[in-house]
Chain A
């Protein structure tokens, strides 16, 4: 059977219809692994998971296991976790420190920079034939440590990560930078890993800026679980954005964010009322950030997805997610929870508890997301169901293209971001070149520079 390539019919961005096939079809899924996941920049982890030489952390890219490793000289690498001899996983620990990865099968050993070192009976069995250098662990083509978060791609022709991010960068920054406006400075305090029966794009799309699904979280909003809940406030977070202008932005590279711009006066809005020390600390962070960033401090993050499968939650709670594909209808979710490395102990203690009650499979908010992704996937696998595409007509045309934040900017809830995401997904599936994958506006700009 020939591979299907009717992607522009499946994704009708103009009409606002997207076929259910792209969420359930096995052939399309196999092609995604090849055409999207071996080309796009993927989140692998965070430098705080491998602070010392010899530290490693096993991660994933697409369906495959990779090792994030800091070598003896403190350089960070990402390797495919598979022996060059017969493919055995050379590392089955989640995290640790080592000077060598020893393959359990026939005992080839690899150094922390991926080089093949030990080959038992080398002299007798392989002399003059085996080229050690050429049998190193397979390394990613490019790697980037962006403000502590580690990203990689298998495509040697991929643009550098900053170019790939485009104008989505300052939004991602809001998740990665210190609460008081200093650059970077975050650390991972824990990682959730779980498997759920839904297509990975449901999760990616959820964080693109699907604010429309807010009613599905009514149960937590009714009972109140936010940082001021014990003080009597309902809702699942502090309403820091109550006076802000929300913006939903679709970027040409396929990324999408929901952020907000505070009014010019940009006054502090009370938060963390459950604990006076935290209230003071976050008030201080707010003032510091305003002093440091000036006008720039008016931009606050909500959520976003960096194409294809990395999402972030910018403030309450705060973290990075990777949605690793397992099958058309199964996804492994990873969430890296972030705090400022130098935040006071009391703040870290409060935040970790807040993250746990909010996020992931044990989180009161996100349990309801998972329920939706599961049954939306399950009810789309049927023969008849597949004949009827999903509707993506929300807020058609309701955006401007000349906003200083770049991209297609909407000031109302919109599926323009999802349309942009799937338009770019189509380009990947059609095997587009990097000029096309970055979307024409960005590449036009580059050409003009």
Chain B
């Protein structure tokens, strides 16, 4: 079997569990988990404006389209790329704010009446800490999500996938500076993506 150079790079990135499992690591991980649970509450309780407060002003919020590619080409071609062409989302704070404003008009029919949504976040791991785990300014965090959406009567969607985040520590707690959402679907099996991930 041949693996491409890119594949190896990626594997290294993803299995970079180099951070020592110290007390500091677990304390920080607990804080990050708490932050995610709180974030999920804000979304599921439809406190969308409060959710926007969790995003840094320079956030990059990205959900690629996943493609069926030949073995060995995953790293190079499986996902559409941030900053290039068309993805499901490749957004900044302005657009995310617009999406919130749209829901709040009360006439965004795809979310009116509002969907019932539950975000479940798990498998949280800190993959990188800058400058160091003891006193970090930025963290790279990976997690899994399961988002359940039920809308009007019978419409039900389950979105499952991975999130790769960069969190920034500020005087105001964590802010999400970068989020990559890897939805485990090729052709989108939902009529809409009206929720945030």
Contacts and interface: CB of A to CB of B under 8 A. Distances in A.
Given A196-B191, A367-B192, A368-B109, A190 B86 contact: yes
B192 A370 contact: yes
User: Chain A interface residue count: which class?
Assistant: 35 or more
A357 interface: yes
Contact of A193 (B90, B91, B155, B188): B188
B193 A361 contact: yes
B190 A364 contact: no
Given A219-B107, A368-B108, A368-B109, A361 B191 contact: yes
A94 B67 contact: yes
Among the interface residues A95, A190, A191, A371, which one has the most CB atoms of the partner chain B within 10 A?
A371
Interface in A197-244: 197-198, 216, 218-220, 222-225, 229-230
Nearest to B188: A194
A356 B69 contact: no
Contacts of B192: 196, 361-362, 367, 370-371
Among the interface residues B70, B80, B85, which one has the most CB atoms of the partner chain A within 10 A?
B85
Contact of A223 (B67, B70, B105): B105
A374 interface: yes
Contacts of B87: 190, 356
Contact of B98 (A223, A361, A371): A223
A317 to B, nearest CB: 11
B51 interface: no
Given A190-B86, A223-B101, A93 B69 contact: yes
Contacts, number: 115
Given A96-B69, A216-B109, A361-B190, A225 B98 contact: yes
A190 B98 contact: no
A64 to B, nearest CB: 15
Contact of B105 (A191, A222, A230, A357): A222
B194 interface: yes
Interface in B52-103: 63, 65, 67-70, 73, 80, 85-91, 94-95, 98-99, 101-102
Nearest to A230: B94
Nearest to B92: A353
A396 interface: no
B172 to A, nearest CB: 26
Among the interface residues B73, B87, B88, B188, which one has the most CB atoms of the partner chain A within 10 A?
B188
Contacts of A372: 109
Interface in A369-390: 370-372, 374-375
A7 interface: no
Q: Is the interface of B mostly helix, strand, loop or mixed?
A: loop
A282 B95 CA distance: 23
Given A194-B188, A218-B105, A357-B91, A370 B110 contact: yes
Interface in A81-96: 92-96
B187 A356 contact: no
A446 B70 CA distance: 49
Nearest to A369: B110
B23 interface: no
Nearest to A330: B191
Given A194-B188, A219-B102, A223-B101, A368 B110 contact: yes
A195 B188 contact: yes
B107 A222 contact: yes
Interface in B176-197: 186-194
Interface in A382-419: none
Interface in B105-132: 105, 107-111
Contacts of A361: 88, 188, 190-193
Nearest to A223: B101
A192 interface: yes
Contacts of B67: 94-95
Contacts of B109: 216, 219, 368, 371-372
Contacts of B89: 356, 362
Given A190-B85, A361-B193, A219 B108 contact: yes
A364 B70 contact: no
Nearest to B152: A375
B86 A367 contact: no
Among the interface residues A191, A193, A225, A362, which one has the most CB atoms of the partner chain B within 10 A?
A362
A274 to B, nearest CB: 10
Contacts of B186: 94, 193
Contacts of A154: none
A93 B70 contact: yes
A94 B186 CA distance: 10
A434 interface: no
A370 B188 CA distance: 14
Contacts of A374: 155, 191
Contact of B108 (A92, A194, A367): A367
Contacts of A190: 65, 80, 85-87
A361 B149 CA distance: 15
A192 B69 contact: no
Given A198-B191, A229-B98, A371-B110, 9 more contacts: A94-B68, A95-B67, A191-B65, A193-B187, A194-B190, A195-B190, A218-B107, A223-B98, A356-B91
17 contacts: A94-B68, A190-B86, A190-B87, A192-B86, A194-B187, A194-B188, A195-B190, A216-B109, A337-B86, A356-B88, A362-B63, A362-B192, A364-B98, A364-B102, A367-B111, A371-B191, A374-B155
**The 4 nearest A-B residue pairs measured at CB:** A190-B86, A196-B191, A367-B110, A194-B188
